[in-house]
């Protein structure tokens, strides 16, 4: 049944879903990497496409920016459409000097100040973590491609325009690899519903060196990440 935010018919969403924040990236990735992509959702402009990758059905659906937005789409995809494997593909800011723009970061776990699940966990500091099988396959795919790839703890922030530089400093000092805004809640939801989740991220900017990927190069770096995610899902 269509949900408040997804108008796809039952059966139009694959069990494997890639979730970029940007709906236009969902369109680009589906048209570039999937066979026979077709638009299955455009409610509120949040584009979702379903096609096949090497014969396997895949949906690529925008999540929007931030955990509250991702939570809406991931909840509906899981509980109403039967999604089982959810892989976030997106950009992040690097937090270690050893990491460069264009590198890939795979989130083994995701640190936060809070998530939309805070009200459920109450006094528990639940540790949102990736599915190990997906993680291992993504690392294998990235190494085979020769993409410089880092695996570890990431920071899912609530704000892009952060008025607390001390928080970034603490994250950096505790070895956090990069900052983005969605993975922790995706991992929480996957744990709650018995799904597999992973975040594969391209470094678009650097919080220490302040280097940023020129927009002309964003597409090709993004493409490596999409292929790593697809190979992780179906290896
Ligand atoms: N902060 C939060 N999210 C991000 C960043 C950042 O610096 N870069 C890419 N996504």
Spell out the domains of the chain, with CATH numbers in brackets: 16-234 (3.40.50.1580)
Question: Measuring CA to CA, which residue among 226, 185, 202 is closest to residue 93?
Answer: 202
Q: What does the chain come to in residues?
A: 235
Q: With a 6 A CB cut-off, is 21 part of the ligand 1 pocket?
A: no
Q: Does the pTM exceed 0.95? A: yes
- What are the pLDDT digits (tens) for 100-136? 999 999 999 999 999 999 999 999 999 999 999 999 9
Span 57-68, average pLDDT: 98
Q: Cβ of 22: how many Cβ atoms within 10 Å?
A: 19
Contact assessment for residue 90 and residue 179, using Cβ atoms and an 8 Å cutoff: no
Catalytic choice (12, 22, 166, 205): 205
Radius of gyration of the chain from its Cα atoms, rounded to whole angstroms = 16
pLDDT at 215: 79
Give, in degrees to the nearest 5, the angle at Cα 44 between 27 and 74.
70
| d(C-alpha 63, C-alpha 212), whole Å | 23
pLDDT at 214: 87
Continuous segment of H or E residues that includes residue 30 = helix 23-33
How is residue 98 written in tokens? 């050893």
| d(C-alpha 164, C-alpha 102), whole Å | 26
- What's the maximum distance between 2 C-alpha atoms anywhere in the chain? 48
Span 76-102, average pLDDT: 98
Top mutation candidate among 157, 164, 213 for ligand 1, by most atoms within 8 Å of CB:
157
Distance, first Cα to last Cα, the chain = 31
| d(C-alpha 211, C-alpha 58), whole Å | 34
- Give binding residues for phosphate as ranges: 21, 25, 44, 88-91
């Amino acid at each position: 049944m269509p949900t408040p935010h997804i108008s796809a018919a039952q059966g139009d969403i694959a069990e494997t879903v890639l979730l970029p924040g940007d709906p236009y990236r969902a369109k680009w990735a589906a048209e570039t990497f999937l066979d026979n992509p077709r638009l299955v959702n455009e409610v509120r402009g949040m584009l979702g496409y379903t096609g096949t990758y090497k014969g396997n059905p895949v949906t690529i659906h925008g999540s929007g920016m931030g955990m509250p937005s991702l939570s809406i789409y991931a909840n509906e995809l899981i509980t109403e459409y039967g999604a089982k494997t959810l892989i976030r593909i997106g950009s992040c800011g690097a937090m270690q000097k050893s990491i460069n723009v264009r590198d890939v970061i795979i989130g083994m776990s995701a640190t936060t100040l809070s998530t939309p699940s805070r009200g459920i966990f109450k006094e528990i500091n639940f540790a949102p973590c990736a599915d190990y099988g997906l993680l291992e396959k993504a690392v294998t795919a990235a190494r085979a491609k020769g993409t410089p790839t880092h695996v570890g703890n990431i920071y899912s922030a609530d704000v892009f325009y952060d008025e607390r530089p001390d928080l970034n400093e603490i994250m950096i000092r505790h070895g956090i690899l990069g900052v983005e805004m969605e993975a922790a809640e995706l991992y929480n939801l996957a744990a709650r519903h018995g799904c597999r989740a992973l975040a594969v991220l391209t470094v678009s900017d650097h919080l220490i060196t302040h280097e940023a990927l020129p927009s002309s190069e964003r597409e090709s770096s993004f493409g490596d990440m999409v292929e790593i995610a697809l190979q992780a899902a179906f290896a």
